Amino acid sequence: MKGKLLVLLIALTAAIALAACAPAATPAPTAAPPTTAPQATTAPQATTASQPTTAPAVTTAPTVAPTAAATKAAASGTPDKVTVAYVAITNFAPLYLAIERGFMKEQNIDVSMQKVTTAADALPFLATGQYDVGGVGIAAATFNGFNKGLDFRIVASAAIQPLKNGPTVLLVRKDLKDSGKVKAVADLKGLKVGVAGAAGSTGAYFVAKALEDVGLTFKDITAVNLANPDLVQAMKQGSVDAALVGPPYSDQILKDGTGVLLAQDIAPGAMTTVWMYSGKFIKDRPDVAKRFMIALVEGARAMQGDKYLDPENIKAYMKYTPSTEAAIKSGVPPTIDPNLQIYLDSIKNMEQVFRTEGWTDYKTAIPSDKMVDTSFLDNAVKVLGAPK
């Protein structure tokens, strides 16, 4: 009996000693703070590449502002792959520069580019997380997705329509203008108008606004859904009477002499193209999403003013769009905010127009926090500071 008691006493003493040496339990991680709804911003002051804007007020600043050096230091090891869907136009040039000028590499990000024709091509893949980022136009499908609770958010602006001499234009065939058949927008009634995405697309928004000004609606024309590159050929062949198009395709049509300007500055100050993040990218890889945005803002700042036509920049534009050096130099630069600021009032106006035209499958306006997340942009501006 004494022997058994001695064994039990030794075992108990060893257990107590082991318990004293064991590490403390790791506390459960706290939940990520919810994204706050952005405050409504005022209408943008149009700024072309030669007129950079000042830094916007930060709406949701992070608790601690990291430094650019610390951010780059954190981006080490195997590069993080980010899949980006984009429409091949200069509206998304900040991404082209971020890749070609090494800003993404500095953030240890390897970008996989997936070319799409319209936003509708990208949204299903953003909603499921197959694409991490989308550089796309805002369309009716975007708002329908927000209304249904699909998992993506607008995180930055792409190109903004300037108040004057905007790049997105309504062109009419030269022969129709010369003959006097089409003298003004009102004369498009009953004619075929080429629009990438047709009804409910970003282009359709511009056409609807132009028609609204002369007392017509989108239903008064025959919309022909063609991809942006195909609009050039359609104007040449006469398969459309007019086209809503932006650079570099508008520059090409004008250069070919197949089309002439019918209407410009249709929706001055509108933010019709944006950068979107998938919900999966936001939730699962927030650090990568922050670094991606830093590189994107650096790309936007690298094309401001006279820097727009830097030889290195021109090479990047040409790599990702079908434009030529001559077209880029003679064309109108896209208006890119150096901080990629989000203009919430513009988003709300587009949503209202789409609902009025009957292009959405709902009737009530969508709350801002269902559409926009400013946190990644706010962080990037905080890291990089004001534009120089």
Regions of the chain short of the pLDDT cut 70:
1-76
Tokens representing 139 are 């369309």
Residue 166 is predicted with a pLDDT of 85
What is the rounded distance in angstroms from the CA atom of residue 51 to the CA atom of residue 68?
Answer: 25
Say which residues have a Cβ less than 8 Å from residue 294's Cβ, sequence separation at least 6.
Answer: 68, 71, 103, 107, 379, 380, 383, 384
Domain at 212, CATH number = 3.40.190.10
Indicate whether 376 belongs to any domain: yes
Last residue of a domain, one of 204, 231, 263: 263
Judgement on whether residues 280 and 152 belong to the same structural domain of the protein: yes
Domain count, the chain: 2
| pLDDT at position 74 | 54
* Same-domain status, 181 and 250: yes
CA angle 90, 87, 297 (to 5 degrees): 55
Instruction: Give the closest residue to 158 by CA, choosing from 47, 305, 273.
Output: 273
List CB contacts of 252: < 8 A, sequence separation 6 or more.
232, 323, 327
Same domain membership, residue 368 and residue 274: yes
Q: Produce one character per residue of 178-195: b if its CB has 16 or more CB atoms within 10 Å, e if not.
A: eeeebeebebbeebbbbb
pLDDT of residue 12: 36
- Any bridge partners for residue 243, and if so which? 171, 194
Asked if residue 51 belongs to a domain, the reply is no
Residues 179 and 296 in one domain: no
User: In terms of domains, do 244 and 277 share one?
Assistant: no
The DSSP code for 181 is: S
pTM of the model: 0.71
Contact, 207 vs 195, CB < 8 A?
Answer: yes
**Euclidean distance between CA atoms 50 and 297, whole angstroms:** 17
- What is residue 189's predicted lDDT score, i.e. its pLDDT? 97
Residue that terminates a domain, selected from 243, 263, 283: 263
pLDDT of residue 113: 97
Is 234 inside a domain boundary? yes
pLDDT of residue 200: 87
Last residue of a domain, one of 238, 263, 288: 263
CA gap 206, 262 in Å, rounded: 13
Are residues 255 and 277 located together in one domain of the fold?
no
Task: Report if residue 238 sits inside a domain.
Answer: yes
The whole-number pLDDT of residue 7 equals 35
Q: Which of 217, 228, 153 is nearest to 359 (CA)?
A: 217
56-68 per-residue burial string, b: 16 or more CB within 10 A, e: under 16: beebbeeeeeeee
95/231 same-domain check:
no
C-alpha 163/C-alpha 147 separation (Å) is 30
Give the pLDDT confidence score for residue 155 in this predicted structure: 98
The reply to whether 248 falls in a domain is: yes
What SS3 class is residue 36?
coil
Give residue 119's domain range: 68-162+270-384
Report the chain's C-alpha Rg in angstroms. 26
